[in-house]
Amino acid sequence: MAGLENVEQPRWLGGAVTVRRTPAVEDDQALQALELYGDPTEAEVRLASLPESAAVARRITHGVVLRRWSLSPDLAEHAVLLVSELVGNAVRHTGARVFGLRMLRRRGWIRIEVRDPSRGLPCLMPVQATDVSGRGLFLVDKLADRWGVDLLPRGKSTWFEMRLQDR
C-alpha cells in the first residue's frame, strides 16, 4: 500500500480484523512516553506501581534504546522484554505505590535499573516447561550479560546490563 507505510493497516485473521502496529506508530508512542514521563537517561523516571505502567516502561525503553541510542532492534527487543519483567516484579511483589526507571550507557554497555522501596530480594527460581508464571528473573538471567540487586537505604535497585559490541 504505497504511501501508507506509517499507518496502522487492518489484517484479516480468521474472519476478524486485527490491527498491525508499524514501527512508526511504536516510535511515536515511545517518543510520547518520553515527553510525558521524562528521560530515564537524565534522571530517574517515577511511574505508578500499576500493571499498565509496564507498557509505559516498555515504550520508554524502546524509545531510548532504538531511537536515542541508535542501537539494534534485537537489543531493543531484549531490553524491552527484560524491563517488562523487572517492572512486573516491582508492581506484583513489593506493595509500592511507585517505582523508578533509570537507563545508563557507557562504553560497550547499557544498564537498566528498576528501583522500588522494598528491601525484599528477588529470587531466581528453577523454571519448568509447564510454568505459566515465575519466569521473569529466569529470562533476565538468560538474556542479560549481568544482573543483580543493590540494596539502598530505602529499598533496592534491580538492574541488568547488556554488552554492546557482541550484538
Q: What's the confidence (pLDDT) of residue 20? A: 47
CB 24 within 8 A of CB 5: yes
**Which cell numbers in the block locate residue 151?**
540494596
| Residue 137: inside a domain | yes
Sign of CA dihedral 37, 41, 44, 50: positive
The radius of gyration computed from the CA coordinates of the chain, to the nearest angstrom, equals: 17
| Residue 14: inside a domain | no
The domain total for the chain is 1
| Residue 124: inside a domain | yes
| Residue 94: inside a domain | yes
| Residue 10: inside a domain | no
Band of pLDDT at residue 87, cut at 50, 70 and 90? very high
Tell me the pLDDT tens digit for each residue of 92-149: 988 889 999 999 999 999 999 999 999 988 877 777 766 566 677 888 999 999 999 9
Tell me the pLDDT tens digit for each residue of 34-85: 889 999 999 999 999 999 999 999 999 999 999 999 999 999 999 999 999 9
Q: What's the confidence (pLDDT) of residue 1? A: 43
Task: Indicate the SS3 state at residue 111.
Answer: strand
- The predicted model scores a pTM of 0.79
| Residue 29: inside a domain | yes
CATH of the domain at 65: 3.30.565.10
**Ramachandran sector of residue 124 (left: φ over 0; alpha: ψ -120 to 50; beta: rest):** beta
Band of pLDDT at residue 14, cut at 50, 70 and 90? low
CB 158 within 8 A of CB 89: yes
**Terminal Cα distance for the chain, rounded:** 33
| Residue 2: inside a domain | no
| Residue 11: inside a domain | no
Range of the domain at 129: 20-163
Q: Enumerate the H helices of the chain as residue ranges.
A: 23-37, 53-62, 73-93, 136-143
Beta pairing partners, 98: 48
Q: What's the confidence (pLDDT) of residue 153? A: 94
